[in-house]
Amino acid sequence: MNELSSTPRTADDFHALLDGLGIAYTTHRHEPVFTVAESVSLRDEIPGGHTKNLFVKDKKDRYFVLTVEENAVVDLKTVHKVIGAASRVSFGRPEKMLEYLGVAPGSVTVFGAINDTGGNVTFVLDEELMRHEIINGHPLSNDATTSIGRDDLLRFLEATGHTPLVLKVTD
């Protein structure tokens, strides 16, 4: 990975990293989906835990990606106590999402860790989601879904320089 590159890595770069790590995955192409509701039709085609990702920040401009099961509820008024944020969290600005994760709103994904070469984001995986053997997320764009083993997701995050927090962040 080129640490000095300001061009976000692509889905092809992401898949090449997984290949290089010997991580098995499948990617299903589909129409772009912007919400969990829009993606429900894919459930029969793609087994495993489907994710919802929240890009949030605290008052000290510490950024987090909360990756939870698609139907889970995250209480933004209290989640800061669980994740170790300095204050209540609010949604991060789209400019920072693009800068740190290389994605636009509607495409937030745990796989954006590949673009966070500066370690600006803490990745938090919900305990409930991690009960699934297979985890599904967008491979840096919302027109595809990549399925990866739970343990391989952790390996991927470690390979990008991130030690994820696995915490109970949902109600």
The answer to whether position 113 is within a domain reads yes
In a domain, 25, yes or no: no
Q: 5 in a domain, yes or no?
A: no
109 domain-assigned: yes
Reported as half-sphere exposure (CB side, CA atoms, 13 A), residue 45 has a value of: 12
Supply the CATH number for residue 110's domain.
3.90.960.10
Structural domain span for residue 159: 48-167
Number of domains in the chain: 1
Residue 23: inside a domain = no
Cα–Cα distance for residue pair 97/136, rounded to 1 Å? 20
Digit-coded pLDDT (tens) for 15-37: 999 999 999 999 998 877 666 66
- According to DSSP, residue 32 is labeled -
Q: How far is CA 30 from CA 96, 106, 133, in A?
A: 27, 14, 22
Distance separating alpha carbons of residues 110 and 139, to the nearest angstrom: 9
Q: What whole-number distance in Å separates Cα of residue 77 and Cα of residue 89?
A: 7
Q: Tell whether 9 is covered by a domain.
A: no
On whether residue 98 sits in a domain, the answer given is yes
pTM, full prediction:
0.90
Tens-place pLDDT, residues 51-96 = 999 999 999 999 999 999 988 999 999 999 999 999 999 999 999 9
Give strand pairing partners of 149.
Answer: 134
End-to-end CA distance of the chain: 37
Tell me: pLDDT of 141 over 70: yes
On whether residue 91 sits in a domain, the answer given is yes
